[in-house]
Chain A
Amino acid sequence: MIATASMQTKVAPPPLRDVDAEIKLDARHVDFFYGDFQALHDASLAVQARKITALIGPSGCGKTTFLRVFNRMHDLVPGTRASGEVLLDGHNVLSPDTDVINLRRQVGMLFQRANPFPKSIYDNVAYGPHILGWSKIQIDQVVEESLKDTGLWDEVKDRLRRSALNLSGGQQQRLCRR
């Protein structure tokens, strides 16, 4: 699922809700604090299933912060706090009983800057499925398919075991997009 959406942090946008649309993720009245500084003010957003939603705004308005709340990446930053509700298939992601690890397996995230692991090209793609406990054969298959999807396969198929850090910036970006 790609969670990107249009919003303003200070004023909740009029929800553009298609009556029939299935809402995959529903953020309601989210406030977010870095220590004493409030970064999000009552932000609300409904993301439809099987649609691409784009989130636009000036630098520093809180787009990334908002997105990070969706899979609780803010837990990793000490002194941050989120309130409100983020419903993923009806379950509030922000509630303390959420299985964060499971949540992050469902809500994928691609970062602004490409950040390949300092491992081989193969291992970089394989790490996700590896965590999910897939078999070697399945992983081999998924690595090849994903690299073909991004158009990297022909460029790297002969050096899958080499470090991903040797790739160019654009290649790294595409590798991480996987």
Chain B
Amino acid sequence: MSLPLIRTLVDRLVGGLIVLCVSVAAIPVLVLLLFVLINGLPGMLTPGFFTDPPYPQGVPGGGVLNAIIGTLEIVGIGSLLAVPVGALIGIFLSEYGRNQVGNTVRFISDVFTGLPSIAFGIFGYTVVVLTTHHFSALSASIALAVLMLPVILRATETALVLVPNSLREAGLALGAPRWRVTLEIIVPAALGGIVTGALLAMARAAGETAPLLFTAFGNDIVQTNPWQPMGALSLTIFRNALVPYPNLQQQAWAAGLLLVALVAATNILARIYVRRIQR
């Protein structure tokens, strides 16, 4: 067999292998999305889905307004707590953290990443719920913030480390102090990566159920006060999926679809925003 022929064969083989691997990874995700779409769409189109609170079990109709508001508020407050702190720690790790302090922070953060999410729920329960004697959206936000923190700080650090050193040197060679180079040159250069990291963390937090079970607790009434128990889309999915009423099961599917859509929408919007300011 001639050499070029072998080469062509190997080329085809490896190419085919790659396509196969991509398919194995992508097909389950696509099937999942399709499933959620098919099962969730009818529930979403039910009148009142977006505008009504849930009705008592057995009563037809009702919506998930309580859960929509709850998810937005809980994740929103959680992000407000976690993103600034996480980004600052990430900046510290990348620009000033090549030492024992940095390594310790990194180690702790890695341990946190591996922790099961229900542990963060226990944290929120012991630290906030037990001390305030009350289930609350705030306790859920704090639990989610701690869960988001390691993801954000590691993503920030990675994005900053990727900024070429020549940019740091160029800034410093102009006589700029280190903190100004970091804030005015390095961070803007890495903004895309930082925002992506924050979004990944938010997306993960929005889908978490376990940390909410004994912090936000769930609430069938539309509630906006963060000191009160609150519903969330993930809690709606969890509770309604286990109930023998078809209309509630359908609502669970629809809540799942809505959650997917929310996460996708934030992702797309943030990407457009980053692209715009980097032009």
Contact = CB atoms under 8 A, between A and B. Distances in A.
Given A115-B166, A117-B185, A119-B188, A76 B174 contact: no
Given A128-B174, A131-B175, A76 B169 contact: yes
A157 interface: no
Nearest to A71: B173
A71 B173 CA distance: 8
B170 interface: yes
Contacts of A128: 174-175
B173 A117 contact: no
A136 interface: no
Interface residues of B, number: 22
Given A78-B98, A118-B189, A119-B188, A105 B175 contact: yes
B173 A109 contact: yes
Contacts of A137: none
B170 A117 contact: yes
A73 B178 CA distance: 12
Contact of A105 (B174, B184, B188): B174
B114 interface: no
Given A76-B172, A117-B171, A117-B189, A111 B166 contact: yes
A76 B175 contact: no
A128 to B, nearest CB: 5
Interface in A67-98: 71, 73, 76, 78
A101 B279 contact: no
23 contacts: A73-B172, A73-B173, A76-B165, A76-B168, A78-B98, A101-B175, A101-B177, A104-B172, A104-B174, A105-B174, A105-B175, A106-B175, A108-B174, A111-B169, A115-B164, A115-B167, A117-B167, A119-B188, A127-B174, A127-B184, A131-B174, A132-B175, A176-B170
Given A76-B169, A115-B167, 16 more contacts: A71-B173, A101-B175, A105-B175, A106-B175, A108-B174, A111-B169, A115-B164, A115-B166, A117-B167, A118-B167, A119-B188, A127-B174, A127-B176, A131-B176, A162-B279, A163-B279
